[in-house]
A and B are shown apart, each in its own frame.
Chain A
Amino acid sequence: MVDVEKLKKIARETISRDDVRCLIGWRQGSYGFRAAPHFVGKPEEADQLIFSPLCSHNLATYLTLAEKLPVPRGQEPDTRKVALLVKGCDSRAVVQQLVEQGIRRENVLVIGCPCRGVVDQKKVEAKYPDMGAAVTADWGEKTVIFNLPSGRVEAPREEVLAGKCMTCRYPNPLLADIEAGDAVAVWGSDEYTDVREMEAGDPRQRWLFWEEKFSSCIRCYSCRNVCPMCYCEDCILDRLNPGWVWRSANTSENTAFQLARAFHLAGRCIECGECERVCPVDIPLMKLNRKLTKEVREKFAFEPGTDPESKPLQASYRPDDKADFIL
């Protein structure tokens, strides 16, 4: 439970510190059921901060950018901290970035916001269509409350929350310098039913499913841009020499792109679901990434983003790793 006024106060105090460069949180969006990332540079700007079921964005994706800004000649790099509001899943991204040395611990100030789930915009917009005006929202007991222009409505959470939230095991941030609220009870458990359903099918059926999805990819790279774990200086899938993947948006290249990204996320994807949220052609990217998350958990007993001291999965091995398929 996060008290928004308390959160704003924390934000005001934090941005007033000498060692904090900026604070990133959410503010109300300008239309429909949306929030927007909000960059606070001055204490008064903190008044716009919200924390509601609309706060889908994983703001950790901004952290790796903060350290990349070119420094004008003659100036020193700005080493002040970036303060970041994180939900549970977002905090896993921060932890994983620390494990990979993508950010330095002293450069980030984590403000933890225990979360009771964020909405799936597509589900909500289907339920309450043609919503032009900006709608605020809040959490109920096991519901989500929307303040529509027509009045207050309350929807059962299964109907409006993102799929990832219904199986969430980490609603409370795993890393926080400041706690913005009390911890919430874990209500989700994850049997990876979506993945298991796909696994159980016939390989031919599976390919027909994925072929349709991959062919619709327009290579907008939104998934890559929003992903907190995609922050290579020069993505290997953009390179021309060697040209791993060509830029044509056809089935062959799209499949190679998607498989490459999924593989590069193995042991790193923290299941924030942002990729799927932003995909303009509705590719079920979580269904793809979660396959490897499940394998990593089952075969190697590893969950990325849970232990800042852990070694990256793809940089380690155990002598007793099982691989029965090897001839």
Chain B
Amino acid sequence: MSAQFEPNIVAFLCNWCSYAGADLAGTSRTHYPPNLNVIRVMCSGRVNPLFVVNALQQGADGVLVSGCHPGDCHYMEGNFHARRRFTLLRELIEYVGVEPGRFNMSWVSASEGAKWKDVVGEVVVKAKEAGPFKQFRRDKINW
């Protein structure tokens, strides 16, 4: 892909761990690419897997879901449910041909500001490799 392509990544971060970890990355003044935009939810368990399909339809080139490490969920179990759901979702979308690397998931705790920077970097690189998402974007009409 040309160097100009800047992927647009939508990220769902859980309030207690990942969002806090991302804030910590900010407080520590780490730097990472600006391609990722965050939607805050209270728990990774809130993220309906179909949000990922919807995000790809609506203009995202990549989607990230990030939550607390297993066992540390503020609401005890939300991330366990998320883990199972997104394991299946990832299999499904890759099966129909969505490039691997568009959808990512991470566990980032409130103290892992450095890890957040790495996750963002990795997710952006993967989305760049996959290129602009064209397959079932909403503005593309295939008659």
Could you mark each residue 51-73 of chain B with 1 if its beta carbon is under 8 Å from any beta carbon of chain A, else 0?
Answer: 00110010000000000001100
**Docked CA distance A205–B98 (Å):** 11
**Docked CA distance A256–B93 (Å):** 10
Interface pair A326/B140, CB less than 8 Å apart:
no
Say if the beta carbon of A204 comes within 8 Å of chain B: yes
Interface pair A326/B89, CB less than 8 Å apart:
no
**Docked CA distance A323–B142 (Å):** 35
List residues of chain B with CB within 8 A of the CB of A325: 87, 90, 104-105
Say if the beta carbon of B117 comes within 8 Å of chain A: no
Nearest-CB distance from B111 to chain A (Å)?
A: 16
Interface pair A327/B86, CB less than 8 Å apart:
no
Interface size on A, residues (CB 8 A): 46
List the interface of chain A (C-beta within 8 A of B): 195, 198-199, 203-211, 214-215, 244, 246, 250-253, 255-256, 259-260, 262-263, 266-267, 288, 291-292, 295-296, 299-300, 313-314, 316-317, 319, 321-323, 325-327
Could you mark each residue 93-127 of chain B with 1 if its beta carbon is under 8 Å from any beta carbon of chain A, else 0?
Answer: 11111111000111100000000000100110000
Interface pair A263/B88, CB less than 8 Å apart:
yes
Interface pair B88/A259, CB less than 8 Å apart:
no
List residues of chain A with CB within 8 A of the CB of B88: 263, 266-267, 292, 295-296
Nearest-CB distance from B138 to chain A (Å)?
A: 5
List residues of chain A with CB within 8 A of the CB of B84: 300, 313-314, 316-317, 321, 323
Interface pair B100/A252, CB less than 8 Å apart:
no
**Docked CA distance A292–B137 (Å):** 23
Interface pair A317/B80, CB less than 8 Å apart:
yes
List residues of chain A with CB within 8 A of the CB of B80: 317, 319, 321
**A203-B98, A317-B80, A321-B80 given as contacts; is B143 within 8 A of A250 (CB)?**
yes
Nearest-CB distance from B104 to chain A (Å)?
A: 6
Say if the beta carbon of B49 comes within 8 Å of chain A: yes
